Structure 1
């Protein structure tokens, strides 16, 4: 490693993967399985050359690392600083964000979150995005007033000189220059990819300094299972100190992004009763934007609990619930936040998705019949970790020990009892034959918004559609002695509560001459409603009067959570981004009230 005018030239692996590399072992570019003799000879030459080098990183091409990057996001409270690092032998940049009330009271001391960027990033990369997330959390009371620090880790993997710079120079500097809580209970680490792995690494190697570490898309090792990671014996050595500091770990990985990345570490932490919450995100690859969108609230809630000293809430899930959904996009809406809600309540929710867009009970039954005679007919996709497989309904039902199996009708037919039979009868027979220990649940869907073209076509009101839905699903539940998941009733209770009615169409909006990106007022809507379709050459104003928006998906998830666990949805603290401030408590109350009412009716 050499230094040139404040820039270090570091050997970088030529690799087509999107993962960051710490280059702790031999790393070569992936190639096709069919190799020619010439390829094999070339690899042998590389191996022989590598054997004479002290580190496999010598196989990397040269990439310049900019250590000082003053152009940062224009976020209030965010500043760029420069440290003359003795460890690195040159200047290194870092960014610091202070909360809005920092200058208001000079007696108050603040916890600090150190956010570590991924490979190829700098101190400027994530400072604006992450500090904005924290600022939003502070505004809505979900996060304590805290300072955020963004070091420049280059391509180091947060090892060697960079590790020394952060531990021996930057942290003492921050504690000296800012009013921090200069103790383990006042420091947390978080990061993405290389930064996620670095957060876990630094917290394990320096257990006296931190109370929490959160990793997005990190791993013990980018090659193999990580069973041989040198961090594992270090974790055993640090376990006593970690526990005394009430340390907790959160690792979030996509189902297509090494979901088992920290499994070996979990095996070590668990016997020592050191909390390690593992979250796997559906349909998620190695993309920070997707991690932000799908789990920013989970990460912030975890860090907030630790920095506030509420370690009990960060313990690992105590039970597992397995549910297979047989439905369509409405089931997809209901499960959008279900995993996060369940994890917040101490439950690991395993969700199977035999869902097809717009699928009716008749089509599900027909597909099952076809699969019975044609083994190649596999219409459903199952995702387990990073593996995807196509399954028939019969195969899906025996793929796991399901606790529950849910069924529903397509929304446009949901209020018509005559459309359920004989198709649901056929599906229930298959379910009870192949998953005899699973409990059947009826997913009660919701009525369309009042401005639906279909309601106008049918000459029906929203209230009439809801009444028809309740009647149709009620008959089915009674026939099969099955319980309800009363999502439609929750939507109706919310919609009929005083002050919660959505006024459509918006009388103040010019629908004849809409101007992009302006939208009509859709306050209190639980469905997507009006939106701008920007896929074509010109934006077009369209309406989705069926599918749930963020608030609707959250409400549906809360109702499912109570139905599947028996736990009280009012105790959930997780709230997705985008929920109007103050609405989260009401949504939880609505979910509990309809669930409790339904449980009471069935008990009688």
Structure 2
């Protein structure tokens, strides 16, 4: 009888130890005249306190949507409890690249992310509503988007990361609908130059934005990530850079997000002091 009771107690504990809550929040984008879904993962402690929580914006890759990260990495529920933060997974469209397209006025995801989504999340949830309480990262297209947004809006995000990010899009002029977002490289070169992350390093000031960049050495984006790392070194911009065996896949990103959460946790705790 005691053994059965112990088994029952352990079963109940396993069901409640990570009791994060998952919301789907639809945000109206006036800039694109449409509603956009976003997944929000709240820590267990959120329901029991009036404290304000830091927020990590976690971006999906090309062809994905707001549900990808949690579906592929269900451990995110445990992470929000362990680090006591909120994770927001926006829907960035299949191939938006998270910028305002200069050739398609229906694709304004920079405006959505930096203005419409941020203000909505801060109004709905108890958040640390300044850059000390915000970080942003993502994979592949989302890695590009996270750094692009953070480099351009250092007043909004205090820390940013990239996992296998397309941090220089110019070597890929025919891929992932980029010509639809920017025009062809041959005819609209300036659009490509102005919307690629590596060309925005000049906007950075030393230590104003905490940065972590992570890419596998077998990834097709490895060389562009390495060049970004070298450019940051040339500019004396502090950053964490990780390269290790790995490809452009979920096995790599499941591992990478664990390292990045440690990095962002340190940022949030430093900001709290």
- TM-score interval w.r.t. the shorter chain? 0.7 to 0.9
Picking from 199, 203, 228, the partner of 1:265 is 228
Q: 2:66 maps to which residue?
A: 123
For 1:276 and 1:147, the matched residues in 2 are separated by 23
Picking from 16, 38, 41, the partner of 1:94 is 38
Q: Is the 8 A contact 1:115 1:151 kept in 2?
A: yes
**Structure 1 residues 233 and 172: alpha-carbon distance in aligned structure 2, compared to 1, 3 A threshold:** same
Q: Is the 8 A contact 1:225 1:261 kept in 2?
A: no
Q: 1:239 maps to which residue?
A: 204
- Spell out the pairing of 1:357-368 with structure 2 (5 A cutoff): none
CA deviation string 1:21-70 (max 9, x = no partner): xxxxxxxxxxxxxxxxxxxxxxxxxxxxxxxxxxxxxxxxxxxxxxxxxx
Gaps of 5+ in 1: 1-74, 311-604
**Between Structure 1 and Structure 2, how many residues are aligned?**
224
How many Å apart are 1:121 and its aligned residue?
Answer: 0.9
Question: What TM-score comes out, normalization by structure 2 length?
Answer: 0.74
Question: What TM-score comes out, normalization by structure 1 length?
Answer: 0.35
CA deviation string 1:112-152 (max 9, x = no partner): 0001111111111213455x43443355x5xx311111111
For 1:82 and 1:90, the matched residues in 2 are separated by 10
Q: Which runs of 4+ in 1 moved over 4 A?
A: none
**Structure 1 residues 239 and 308: alpha-carbon distance in aligned structure 2, compared to 1, 3 A threshold:** same
**Structure 1 residues 278 and 235: alpha-carbon distance in aligned structure 2, compared to 1, 3 A threshold:** same
Q: Is the 8 A contact 1:243 1:273 kept in 2?
A: no
How many Å apart are 1:267 and its aligned residue?
Answer: 3.8
- Spell out the pairing of 1:376-525 with structure 2 (5 A cutoff): none
For 2:214 and 2:27, the matched residues in 1 are separated by 31
**Structure 1 residues 306 and 274: alpha-carbon distance in aligned structure 2, compared to 1, 3 A threshold:** farther
For 2:96 and 2:52, the matched residues in 1 are separated by 31
Task: State the SS of the aligned residue for 2:88.
Answer: strand
Picking from 291, 294, 299, the partner of 2:260 is 299
How many Å apart are 1:270 and its aligned residue?
Answer: 2.9
For 2:252 and 2:114, the matched residues in 1 are separated by 30
**Structure 1 residues 127 and 138: alpha-carbon distance in aligned structure 2, compared to 1, 3 A threshold:** closer
Q: 1:151 maps to which residue?
A: 90
**Higher relative contact order, chain-length normalized (CA < 8 Å, sep 6+):** 2
CA deviation string 1:99-123 (max 9, x = no partner): 10011111x1110000111111111
Q: 1:180 maps to which residue?
A: 127
Bigger radius of gyration among the two: 1
For 2:198 and 2:216, the matched residues in 1 are separated by 23
- The RMSD of aligned alpha carbons is 2.4
